[in-house]
Amino acid sequence: RGSVPYKCEKPIVYYGSSITMGGCASRPGRCYQNIVAREISCDYINLGFSGSALGEDEMTQYIEGLEMSAFVMDYDHNAPTPEHLQRTHEKMFMAIREAHPEIPIIIMTRPRKKLNEEEMVRHQVIAATYGNAVAGGDDKVYLIDGAKLTALCGDEGTVDGTHPTDFGFASMAAALCDVFRSCGLK
C-alpha cells in the first residue's frame, strides 16, 4: 500500500480454515482477504488455520480482545462433526458479539452450491446462529451462503472440490465486498 493509509481505522478479523488461510491461492495477493483489502481499503488480520480452527474458547477469548472494524467467521470446514459445530458456533458468535456490540459480524457457510447430507446439517447450524441473532434484535449480523460465495465461479472455482482457486477466491471476495459495502465499510 505504500504510504496511502487505509480508509478503515481498524482491521477486519477473519477466523477460519485453510480456505481462510489462503491455501491454494497462486500467490498471497489472490486470497480473498487481500482482494477485499484492496477493494474496500481496509487492512485485515488473518486467523486462518489449516485443519485447526475449532472455535475453541481460548481462540474466542483472543479474538474478543482484538480491535476490529468487522469479524468474519468461517470455520465450518474444521469442525470435526456437526455436533462440534453445534456446540461451538453460536457460543463463539455470542462471545464476540458481546465484546464488540457495534461491529458487523459476517457468518459464512462453506463455499459450495451442492451440499451432501452432513453439509446440510452444518449449514442449518450456521443458519440457526444467524437466525437466533436476528430474532434477538441483532441488525449487524450477516450470513453469506456458500452458493453466493461461488456465484461467479460455479463449480470451476476449486482445485479439489474444497479449496478455492484464484477464481474461487475472487468470487468469495465479491460476495464479501457486497456485504461490507452494505454495512458501511467502503
pLDDT in tens, 123-179: 999 999 999 999 999 999 999 998 888 767 767 766 666 677 778 888 999 999 999
pLDDT digits (tens, 9 = 90+) for 71-125: 999 998 889 999 999 999 999 999 999 999 999 999 999 887 888 999 999 999 9
pLDDT of residue 36: 96
- Residue 16 scores a pLDDT above 90: yes
Rounded CA separation 139/183 (Å): 10
Rounded CA separation 165/27 (Å): 10
Task: Output the pTM of the full model.
Answer: 0.93
Contacts of 107 (CB under 8 A, 6+ apart): 73, 74, 93, 126, 129, 130, 141, 142, 143, 144
pLDDT of residue 27: 81
- Cell matching residue 43: 487492512
Report CA Rg, the chain: 15
Mapping DSSP to helix (H, G, I), strand (E, B) and coil, where does residue 85 land? helix
pLDDT of residue 134: 98
**60 against 20, higher pLDDT:** 60
Beta-strand runs (E) in 75-175: 105-108, 141-144
pLDDT of residue 160: 63
Label the pairing between strands 70-74 and 44-48: unpaired
